[in-house]
Structure 1
Amino acid sequence: MLSYHEQLTLRLAAGIGELDQATRARHTQFLLAKQRVDGGFAGREGASDLYYTSFGLRSLAILGELHGEVAEKAAAFLQTKLSGHEGVVDFLSLIYGAKLLETAAGIDIFAGASSDWRRSVADTLNSLRRKDGGYAKGPEGMASSTYHTFLVLLCLQLIEQPIPQPEAMVTFLLSQQAEDGGFREIRASKRAGTNPTAAAIGALRILDSLTEEIIEGTLDFLVEMQNDEGGLRANTRIPIADVLSTFTGMLTLTDLDALHEIETEDALTYVRGLEQDTGGFFGAAWDEVADVEYTFYGLGSLALLHVPNDFTLE
């Protein structure tokens, strides 16, 4: 059975395939130009890192351009990170990047790793488990995070390791739902957000624990997040839409077979408005620089809005 991330990649690739060749070529060239000499990708400043490299690879993968020298250089960069001690976000970035390279280019960066590396990674991740059933952001963290609980779940899926006490994880996730139907990032948060809501629904979907009541509350919340710009906001206190929240919100709606609940034409106009003639996407109306992370969210948003009606993962 395909993991959540693998299913997502196939769905986005199907949508990207519906875009015109000029659009695909423009963004491909933008991304290729962002790959560093060491094979990795960086943010707006600083050196290559696993986080941004993951977005570069994900974008190239859904564009069908993750192969040849580009893939070989990226693999060489990821291999330099195998012995490091990474946080949850970087663990997922490394493992998912490796999975993409294996699937798209036939490169296995773990070929020389010890036979128990999967168990070792799982043990490290599970050390972040807290009494409420969720996972903290780091070893010193006391509060469980909705987002990091979702990331750990994705990681365990990708390395084919069992999820310890899934019922406790479900209990934690359900405790994060706010009165307006959305989900909070941490228990102390005063309001729900689009991105933690997407994480919670993604996790509950993997755990086969979605109910009609949860779905209805989530839809009510996400529909309210679309503003006059056409995109989705991060939460009720932020008036401006952004392409990250637009992507995660639309992905959640797609997972719930409810993308039609928002004004999709307005969403398309919003995303296209952030697209740059030279390739790449701005993060929001306030932005002035396109980077690989927001470019993935922009491409992903376009893909979700163009997935063929007859597309199926079966």
Structure 2
Amino acid sequence: MTALEQSPDSLNVENGETAGTSTQTCLTSEDLNKQQELLSFAEEKLNKLSNRFSKVTLSYNSLKDDNTKCLYYTGLEFPILNILFNKIKQHIPTSSISALEPCEQYLLTLIKLRLNLPFKDLAYRFGISNSTCSSYFNIIISILYQKLKTLIIWPEQEVAQKNIPSCFKEVFQDRTSVIIDCFEVPIEKPSNYLTQQQCWSNYKHHNTIKFLIGMTPQGSISYISNAWGGRTSDKQIVELSGFLDKIKPHDVVLADRGFLIEESLAFLQAKLVIPAFTKGKKQLIPLEIEQTRRIAHLLSGITF
């Protein structure tokens, strides 16, 4: 019997089988659509959780859209942070076994400089060992020094005088060359007794290292000395650090009253300007009071 000669019942059975198969296919398609919807929902939730996680963890990428967080941890706005990183990243050693990406090593270092968190704390935050954390810090510090030290420029006298801010010009005409101060960094107690004595700071009541820093009236850093023991006086650092080699005749150096360097500057035909104080006097004369007020106003806008 040919296919055309088959009975209607036979055709109905086959049609029934065909219909059943068709229905089964439709059900499977619906199931797949539901599964796809569930998968899309899960992916969306995962992305939200991932974004939330990146914000609550500490990473280079987490600072991109959070300038407040970036300023807190590094002291820099993210665009500046990124510019500095791009300047040094090609010099950061990398390997397939590096525990952190170069940008994270860089971030770790700036956080240490900004907040002075213990290496153990940073190691926990970045998921690395204490020794690896310390190693990254030392490497990045060396690179930063080598690549950024050229940014500290002592301006030529003529250039500085042409661009002096009006607030300084009103008080000192166009002669202010540099504003100086010393700052101290606490250190661990040295094991060597002589070094302990050299680094002990009576001012901080702690072992410290001390730096002389100079700033132009325009606000740029123009001088940073090498480190000295905390026991070294401001006067000694000025005279021994090489700072005086920068001074030219008629320069004006603005400083706090602790810098007893008037004679050293006078020898170079330069002038020291400090706020007046009443040591050896009953009171200040009106001219000294006004001069001190103006100097204090200028210094109040300067943060080293």
Q: Under TM normalisation by the shorter chain, which class is it?
A: under 0.3
Structure with greater strand percent? 2
State the TM-score, normalizing by the size of structure 2: 0.28
Larger CA Rg, structure 1 vs 2: 2
Question: Whose relative contact order is higher, 1 or 2, with alpha carbons under 8 Å and at least 6 apart?
Answer: 1
State the TM-score, normalizing by the size of structure 1: 0.27
